[in-house]
Amino acid sequence: MKQRLAFVTIDNKPVLHFLLLLCCFFAWDHAAAQIKNEPAIIPRPAVITTQPGFFQLNAATKIGVPSGNAPARKLGELLSQAIKDQTGLLIPVAEKNGPASNTLFIDLGKPDSMGKEGYQLTVQNKSIVLRASESNGAFYGIQTLLQLLPSGQSALTTRPVPIPAVTIIDRPRFEWRGLMLDCGRYYYSMNFLKKLIDYMAMHKMNVFHWHLTEDHGWRLEIKKYPKLTDIGAWRTTTEFSQGRLNGTPTGGYYTQEQAKELVAYAAARYVTIVPEIEMPGHASAALVAYPELSCTGGPFKTLTRWGIQKEIFCAGNEKTFAFLEDVLKEVTAIFPGAVIHMGGDEAPKDRWKSCPKCQQRIRDEHLKDEHELQSYFVKRVEKIFTAQKRNYIGWDEILEGGLAPNAWVMSWRGIKGGIEAARQRHNVVMAPYDYYYLDYYQGKPSLEPNAIFDHAINTLEKVYGFEPCPQELTAEEARFIKGVQGNVWSEFIHTPEKVEYMTFPRAAAIAETGWTPKERKHWTDFARRMETQYQRYDGLNINYAKSAYNVWQTTVLDSVTNTAAISFKTNSYQPEIRYSTDGNEPTAQSTLYTGPFKVKAPVLIKSATFKNGKMISKVYEEAVLRK
C-alpha cells in the first residue's frame, strides 16, 4: 500500500499538485485560525503561544517580587495600581522566593538573551511569571499583561478576572520608537504632555521628541537669555486655518523645573525625551528676542503664520556660536538622554548669500558654497555636543555639504536621506512625511476637518504598511536604521483633543512597525486587534479618530452602457457597510454590502459603517454620473 501511494504521488503530477495545494491550504487555514485566536495585543509580540485555560485574578491574588529587589518592587506597585485602575481589584505586593500559586511573580535581574527591553511572560492556570533582565523589559511585559485583561470592565471587585493562558517571548525590532509633538508653534500643558507619554508607554514607544523652538515660539526657559521666553514665547495671533487668523494672543513656555519634572515622569515610564532646539533655520522666535544673532540685525516681529522663513542664525558671527553653546549647556543639563535634536531643516541661504560675515566665513574656511557653510555650522555645533558628551540628530537636510562624524539623521523627505545616511554608516530614524506625518489627512478630505494638507493622505493602513529598511540597503547598511517616528506638526492643531485625534490610532501602527518583527506584521490581524484597542481608548477617554471606519468607494464606469461597478472598503476589520441609492442617509436597515455590485448612472450612493445597529462612521456620498 505504501509503495502504491508513493507511485501515485510521484508519477501522477496532477495528484501531486492537488495534494500539495491541499496541504498548503490546511497549513494556511491553521495559521490564519491561530492568528485569529491570538489575544489583541498591540504591538504584536515576537512569539506568542496560546494555551487552554485561564488564570483567575481575584481578591486573594498576590504580586510576588524577589526579596530585597527594589526595582522589582517598584514595578510590582506599578502593576498593582494599574490592575486596580482597570479592574477595581487591589492586588498587594509581597516578597516571594519564587513563583507560587495564585501569584503574579516578577522575576527581574537574571541575565537572558532578550536584551534590556525584552521579556518573557508565562500565564498558566495557577500562576503568572514575568521574567526580564532589566526593568525596561519588565515594564513592557506589564503593558502586555494589562492588555490580556478583559477590556471595557471596571470595578470587578466581587468576581475573578480571567487572563488567558499564553506564553510570550518578546523584544523590539528597533531601539528608537518615537513620537514627536510640535510645541514650538503651539503650547500644550504639562498635564497633556504627561497623558501623551502615558499613551506612548502603553504602546511600548520609548522616545518623545519634544519640538521646543520654532519661528513662532521659543518654549524652554534659558536662564542666561531670559528674552527667549519673555519675548520669543508669545505672539499676538495665530493662524487657525489656511489663510485666516483668529486674532487671539497665544504663547507659553516651560520652566527648567517643569522640563526636569517631565523628564523624570517619562523616565519612570521608560520614555526618553529628546529635545529639539532648531538651528540654523526655524529660529525667528530667537531672533525676535536677540536680533544681533541674525544676518541683518532686525528688527523682527513674532510670526503669526506658518511657512519657511528667510531669517536664520548668522553663520559668520561668532556671537551665534557663543549663544548656542550657552543654550545647549543649559539644555543638556536638563535632558540626560544621549541624543539631542538640532533641527537643521528648511534653512534658506538667501541671507547668507548677501551677508558679508557669512561670505567672509566661506572664504576663510575655504568652503565651496552656502551648503558647505551649513555643514560648517553643523560641525561647529557638533563640537558643542561632543563637549557635553552628547550625540545629535538632525533632519535630513544636514546631509547637504557633508555630515559631521557622529551625526544621526532623521529622514523626513521620504526615505532617500535615510538611505544615503545609512550608506555613510550614520544612524538613521525613519520619519517620512508621506507615511508618518500625523497632521496629514487620515481619510477622505471631505470627512477630515482637523488636518491641513489636502495633497497627502496617510490612512491607518498606509501608515501600517511602511517598511523602514529599504530594499536598496545591504544587510550591513540596514543595521544603521535605528527606528521609526511619527510627527505631529501643530500649527492648525490647537487643542490636546485634536492632537489625540490626529495621533491615534495611527501611532499604534507606527508602534507595531517599531516593535514587531517584519515577518510578524499582518494588516488584517492588526485591524482585528485594533477593535479591542479602540475599547481601551474609550476607557481612557482618548479622543481618537474613527476614520478607519469611513467608507472608501471605488467606481468603475462602463461609458457604453453607463453601468458602474461599485466596491467599498474601510480600514477596519470585517466592517458592516450599509448603503443607499435613493438619496437618503443609510440606516441600520439599508442594504448590506456583501461584495461589488452594479448600478445604472446617474445615481447618488451614500454609505456608512454600522456596529450593533448604530452608525460608527461618517456618511460618505458619491455621485455616479453619465459620461
529 and 461 both lie in a single domain: yes
Among residues 540, 565, 583, the one where a domain terminates is: 540
Let me know if residue 5 belongs to a domain: no
Per-residue pLDDT, 107? 96
Domain containing residue 495: CATH number: 3.20.20.80
Let me know if residue 111 belongs to a domain: yes
Let me know if residue 14 belongs to a domain: no
In eight-state DSSP terms, residue 150 is: P
d(CA 431, CA 276): 15
161 and 232 both lie in a single domain: no
Per-residue pLDDT, 405? 81
Domain containing residue 592: CATH number: 2.60.40
Among residues 170, 193, 215, the one where a domain terminates is: 170
141 and 255 both lie in a single domain: no
Let me know if residue 380 belongs to a domain: yes
Per-residue pLDDT, 403? 83
593 and 480 both lie in a single domain: no
Give phi and psi for 157, each to the nearest 5.
-85, -10
Cα separation of the two ends of the chain: 66
Distances (CA, A) of 20 to 9, 23, 27: 10, 5, 10
Query: Domain limits at 583?
Result: 550-624
Let me know if residue 556 belongs to a domain: yes
357 and 495 both lie in a single domain: yes
Let me know if residue 40 belongs to a domain: no
Nearest to 348 by CA among 315, 319, 382, 393: 315
Let me know if residue 155 belongs to a domain: yes
210 and 347 both lie in a single domain: yes
The dihedral over CA atoms of 589, 595, 601, 603, expressed in degrees to the nearest 10, equals: 20
306 and 180 both lie in a single domain: yes
Number of domains in the chain: 3
512 and 460 both lie in a single domain: yes
Query: Mean pLDDT for each 10-residue chunk of the chain (627 residues)?
Result: 33 48 48 72 97 95 96 97 93 94 94 88 97 97 97 63 97 98 95 98 98 96 98 81 64 97 98 97 96 95 82 96 98 97 91 96 96 92 94 93 86 97 97 96 72 72 98 97 97 91 98 98 98 96 96 95 96 98 96 97 97 96 92
185 and 298 both lie in a single domain: yes
461 and 323 both lie in a single domain: yes
Give phi and psi for 542, each to the nearest 5.
-80, 130
Let me know if residue 21 belongs to a domain: no
468 and 561 both lie in a single domain: no
Per-residue pLDDT, 305? 75
**3 state SS of 127:** strand
- Number of alpha carbons in the 13 Å side-chain half-sphere of residue 222: 26
d(CA 497, CA 492): 12
d(CA 225, CA 292): 13
Among residues 116, 137, 170, the one where a domain terminates is: 170
Per-residue pLDDT, 449? 56
What does pTM read for this prediction?
A: 0.92
Per-residue pLDDT, 114? 83
Per-residue pLDDT, 137? 97
Greatest pairwise CA separation for the chain in angstroms:
96
328 and 342 both lie in a single domain: yes
Q: In this structure, which amino acid lies at residue 140?
A: Y
Contacts of 523 (CB under 8 A, 6+ apart): 461, 464, 465
Phi-psi domain of 51 (left: phi exceeds 0; alpha: psi -120 through 50; beta: other): beta
Domain containing residue 71: CATH number: 3.30.379.10
